[in-house]
Amino acid sequence: MLQELMIKNFAIIHNLSLHFQEGMSVLTGETGAGKSIIIDAVGLLAGGRGSSEFVRHGEKKCVLEGMFTLENNEDAHQILEEYGIDQEDQTLIVQREIYASGRTVCRVNGRLVTIAALRDICSHLVDIHGQNEHQELMRPERHLSLLDTFGAKELQEQYQIYTESYQQYKKVKKEYDEWQHNEQELAQRIDILQFQTDEIEAAKLEVGEEERLSEEKNRLVNYQRVMQSLSAAYAALQGNEENNGLDAVGQAMEAMGSIEDLDSQYKRLSEMITNTYFQLQEAASDLFDQLDELAYDENRLNEIEERLDVIHQLKRKYGASIEDILKFQSQASEELERIQDREGQINKLSSQLEELAQRMVEKGRVLSDIRREKAELLENEIHEQLKELYMDKVIVNFKFKLATPTEGKRGHT
């Protein structure tokens, strides 16, 4: 509903603000008072064809602005959402500026839009019935929606059922066409997938391999420092008799063991030293084993670096980790298998299309039958209204054409 209309520097109007209430509003006045100009302004605000001739003489531009309420207008909400226009408080502000130079600027809720977008949006807000312009009844593409609106809930529900069936058919049909017409692209895709899966397969990756190799590489690169540190640690624990850490801890263990029965605190300290002694003894044994196994192998270092380079190359192509690479390989293999079974996929989709088409035809027939019933009721009601206007000779008749399932969303009409 149009609540407010503001017109500035438009034709003979300098500045005009109109506020509309619910119900019917009538503009009256003598010939030349500007009634048609106000309607023209609304038409331009709704996306009508503009011209610099509409700008009041001596002014740089004219401004048209309207405030609409959108309650119970689902079509308007949907089209605004498609254009990404925010809606607040069920209110919409539409503004159009026409400059003397011919330039036009359109805004909807403060957002710049094209004339085409403005016309598309306002087609759900304003319906101007005038001589040879904006006549809703003269637009065949709108007839079905008018009939569906008259049919109210019953028709809307069935139309929704049919629409869902059509969308499902359309989705499968698109996939079917892609399989049918993209043979060259599919062949190229097979080559790419085959190369990718073969490359990953040849690498024989193992989860956790990169971490293990990096640790081994660090040991080899830092061989000298590791050797010195292990030797120093072992010597400190089990070196010569004059500087033997284990012997010193052993002596402390024997000393505390001799008095541990005298006091609970002594016993606790004795146990701590004893545990430490055996832990250090085990550590010394492990240090000895590490020193015994430690060896510098330049060939092994080269092998590790080459292997890590292979892993890094694959990570740059297929994922941030070996797990990601293997996941990519699995997905690529599945896609490759599916594409290679092209004939099977086409046959499967063909069967689905036949089933969906049959289902859509059935839903369309139900929709068509309901529309025919509602059309007959609408014809009678229009005729009764025309009789009251002394136009009882006027004949209104709906004609239906049977459409194929692929001719459009509305199917049987």
What is the tens place of the pLDDT at every residue in 218-268? 888 877 787 788 788 877 887 766 667 888 888 888 888 888 888 888 889
pLDDT at residue 412 tops 50: no
Amino acid at 123: S
Give the Cβ contact number of residue 287 at 10 Å.
Answer: 20
Complete DSSP assignment for 274-341 = HHHHHHHHHHHHHHHHHHHH----HHHHHHHHHHHHHHHHHHHHH-SSHHHHHHHHHHHHHHHHHHHT
Q: Is the pLDDT of residue 202 over 60?
A: yes
Identify the band that residue 201 occupies on the pLDDT scale cut at 50, 70 and 90: very high
Separation CA 169–CA 12 (nearest Å): 55
- In this model, does residue 134 exceed pLDDT 50? no
Give 85-125 pLDDT, tens digit per residue. 887 777 889 999 999 888 899 999 888 999 888 988 888 88
Is the pLDDT at 146 greater than 80, yes or no? Answer: no
Which long-range contacts link 271-280 to residues 24+ away (Cβ below 8 Å)?
Answer: 273/249, 276/249, 277/246, 277/249, 277/250, 277/253, 280/237, 280/245, 280/246, 280/249
Length of the chain: 413
Contacts of 319 (CB under 8 A, 6+ apart): 325, 327, 328
What are the tens digits of pLDDT across the range 24-68? Answer: 888 888 877 778 888 888 988 888 888 888 898 888 999 999 998
**Which pLDDT band holds residue 308 (cuts at 50, 70, 90)?**
very high
Q: Using one digit for the tens of pLDDT, what is the confidence trace for 365-401?
A: 888 888 888 888 888 888 888 888 888 888 878 887 7
* pLDDT for residue 405 is more than 60: no
pLDDT, position 138? 64
